[in-house]
């Protein structure tokens, strides 16, 4: 049986017309005994497939409408500045979105439309039911974890194309893939392709970190085609709007950028609101200072203005905005260590204490929150990071970048970080932001994206197995049984990357007969 025959997409049906996708892998009988091996189902993030210029169907539109708590409105008018200086110069974005343009939705006056809001009121949404079928768990676990803030379902009402997923330590460990253009390289088409490619291999969310031209339009194409939640760092776009001059940033420019992205459908946003003015001097003696781009933009702004960060002082306004669209906070760690030397230092931990405060403030608005974590951490200090985050931030989901466990292997930082990632996820991190081989060296290309995703899928899975997550080891056992019985095709098809496994095997033993021998 070939790869393509053996792996098919199937749907598990639930109430409200819910259809949850899985990849079903057909398996051969055991040789000798003739024992039948039942087909194996795995979590599927690839979505139903789209034509990029059209986008995906709005799967959740009815669910959202039926709650009768949102209204369509004209929305903010897009300006050329949303696409950066080149677009202003040219008088147009490089490649306008061609598919359907829907009016943006927002909460009706006085309403909150977040999954946390519903969960706290005891309401089970179709999104929660979808997630429960996907995770093969009780829907009450989903509802109660979201209500308690220990899990989030990032689902902007303006991104109805998503297949709902959940981020929380009681659920499967998730992974995020970063994509995005920069001033130096890449096109809109390439970024859309990277997003689809990342979800094909298992990315649970995708962050669009574009910093170059056509930021608005690139994001439009990505959001409209993405079956998974999209995250952004709005300060990147805000900075483009002031020609890269951080001192010129204002709360108003930032707020408008956030609203622009809320209307487009961004599901979660990284906000570095925990970088306070008084923390900046704590980084002076570091080996690598401030390495977070958002953190250093805000540190520069605060030092130039001798003022507290507008992200912090206007945080409640941000919460009010997020509550109208169900955008989740990803509270950024702007002071994360950029080297193992700086790990778990006072700057990092001071910021984490502020993220604790911000988590509670967001929850007062029923806004969903996850908390970002480092970065570069020696292996013996990894566990402390998630332990402190869980304690201080009241169980809000932790979302870490790796961490890298050594600084000496540029070119292999997907691996230095997979070591830290598996370990931190075993101890309770809910989502892992991937690191590709290009980390520190350049922007990931298509191959790097795949390598990063597969590496993080295996790290997340190693953590699921180590946590004793229900059923997590079933796939290992099915593959191991296939391996022991020399069912080569089944071994390939059950693996995270059948293409690579098959081609490596064929380099040595190409004969088809050798695959069932």
- Compare residues 28 and 476 and give the one whose CB is closer to its own copies: 476
The span from the CA of 354 to the CA of 276, in Å, is 8
Q: Smallest gap, in angstroms, from Cβ of residue 468 to its own copies?
A: 8
E-state strands within 51-101: 70-72
- Compare residues 142 and 299 and give the one whose CB is closer to its own copies: 299
- Compare residues 58 and 289 and give the one whose CB is closer to its own copies: 289
- Residue whose tokens read 């998730």: 174
Provide the CB-side half-sphere exposure for 114 (13 A, CA): 32
- Compare residues 110 and 468 and give the one whose CB is closer to its own copies: 468
Q: Smallest gap, in angstroms, from Cβ of residue 339 to its own copies?
A: 3
- Compare residues 130 and 398 and give the one whose CB is closer to its own copies: 398
The helices-and-strands tally (H runs, E runs) of the chain is 20, 15
Q: Smallest gap, in angstroms, from Cβ of residue 177 to its own copies?
A: 16
Q: Smallest gap, in angstroms, from Cβ of residue 443 to its own copies?
A: 6
Q: Smallest gap, in angstroms, from Cβ of residue 67 to its own copies?
A: 39
Which three-class secondary structure state does DSSP give residue 152?
A: strand
Q: Determine the length of the chain.
A: 517
Residues 6+ apart with CB under 8 A from 508: none
- Compare residues 263 and 413 and give the one whose CB is closer to its own copies: 413
Q: Smallest gap, in angstroms, from Cβ of residue 480 to its own copies?
A: 3
Look up residue 40 and give its DSSP letter: E
E-state strands within 311-463: 328-331, 369-373, 398-401, 431-433
The span from the CA of 96 to the CA of 216, in Å, is 10
- Compare residues 209 and 459 and give the one whose CB is closer to its own copies: 459
The span from the CA of 371 to the CA of 85, in Å, is 32
Angle (CA) 235-224-87 rounded to 5° is 50
Q: Residue 178 belongs to what H/E stretch?
A: strand 174-179
- Compare residues 72 and 504 and give the one whose CB is closer to its own copies: 504
Look up residue 185 and give its DSSP letter: S
The span from the CA of 18 to the CA of 58, in Å, is 13
The span from the CA of 412 to the CA of 460, in Å, is 18
3-state secondary structure 198-265: HHHHCCCEEEECCCCCCHHHHHHHHHHHCCCCEEECHHHHHHHHCCCCHHHCCHHHHHHHHHHHHHHC
Q: Smallest gap, in angstroms, from Cβ of residue 478 to its own copies?
A: 9
Q: Smallest gap, in angstroms, from Cβ of residue 422 to its own copies?
A: 5
Q: Smallest gap, in angstroms, from Cβ of residue 502 to its own copies?
A: 9
- Compare residues 232 and 495 and give the one whose CB is closer to its own copies: 495
């Amino acid at each position: 049986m070939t790869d393509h025959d053996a792996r098919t997409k199937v749907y598990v049906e639930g109430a409200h017309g819910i259809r949850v996708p899985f990849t079903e892998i057909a398996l051969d009988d055991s040789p000798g005994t003739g024992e039948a091996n039942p087909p194996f189902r795995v979590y599927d993030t690839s979505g139903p497939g789209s034509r990029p210029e059209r986008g995906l169907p709005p799967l959740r539109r009815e669910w959202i409408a039926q709650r009768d708590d949102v209204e369509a409105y004209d929305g903010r008018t897009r300006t050329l500045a949303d696409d950066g200086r080149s677009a202003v110069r040219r008088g147009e974005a490089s490649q306008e979105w061609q598919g359907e343009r829907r009016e943006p939705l927002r909460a009706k006056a006085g309403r909150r439309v977040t999954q946390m809001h519903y969960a706290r009121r005891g309401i089970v949404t179709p999104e929660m039911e979808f997630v429960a079928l996907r995770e093969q768990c009780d829907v009450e676990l989903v509802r109660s974890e979201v209500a308690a803030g220990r899990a989030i379902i990032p689902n902007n009402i303006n991104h109805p194309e998503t297949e709902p997923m959940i981020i929380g330590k009681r659920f499967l460990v998730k992974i995020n893939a970063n994509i995005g253009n920069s001033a130096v390289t890449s096109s809109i088409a390439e970024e859309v392709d990277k997003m689809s490619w990342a979800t094909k291999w298992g990315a649970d969310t995708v962050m669009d970190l574009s910093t170059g031209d056509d930021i608005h339009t690139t994001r439009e194409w990505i959001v409209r085609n993405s079956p998974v939640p999209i995250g952004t760092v709005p300060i990147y776009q805000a900075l483009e709007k002031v020609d890269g001059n951080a001192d010129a940033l204002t709360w108003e420019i930032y707020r408008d950028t956030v609203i622009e992205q809320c209307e487009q459908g961004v599901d979660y946003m990284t906000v570095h609101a925990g970088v306070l003015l008084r923390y900046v001097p704590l980084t002076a003696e570091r080996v690598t200072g401030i390495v977070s781009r958002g953190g250093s933009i805000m540190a520069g702004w605060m030092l130039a203005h001798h003022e507290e960060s507008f992200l912090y002082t206007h945080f409640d306004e941000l919460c009010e905005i997020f509550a109208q669209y169900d955008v989740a906070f990803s509270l950024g760690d702007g002071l994360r260590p950029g080297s193992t030397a700086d790990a778990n230092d006072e700057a990092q931990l001071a910021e984490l204490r502020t993220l604790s405060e911000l988590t509670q403030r967001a929850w007062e608005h029923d806004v969903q929150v996850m908390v970002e974590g480092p970065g570069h951490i020696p292996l013996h200090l990894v566990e402390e990071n998630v332990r402190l985050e869980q304690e201080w931030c009241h169980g809000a989901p932790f979302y870490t970048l790796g961490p890298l466990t050594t600084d000496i292997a540029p070119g292999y930082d997907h691996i230095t970080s997979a070591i830290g990632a598996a370990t931190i996820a075993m101890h309770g991190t809910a989502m892992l932001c991937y690191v590709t081989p290009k980390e520190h060296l350049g922007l990931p290309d298509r191959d790097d994206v795949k390598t990063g995703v597969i590496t993080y899928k295996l790290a997340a899975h190693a953590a699921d197995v180590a946590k004793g997550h229900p059923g997590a080891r079933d796939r290992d056992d099915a593959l191991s049984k296939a391996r022991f019985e020399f069912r080569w095709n089944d071994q390939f098809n059950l693996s995270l990357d059948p293409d690579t496994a098959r081609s490596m095997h064929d380099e040595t033993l190409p004969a088809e007969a050798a695959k069932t021998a």
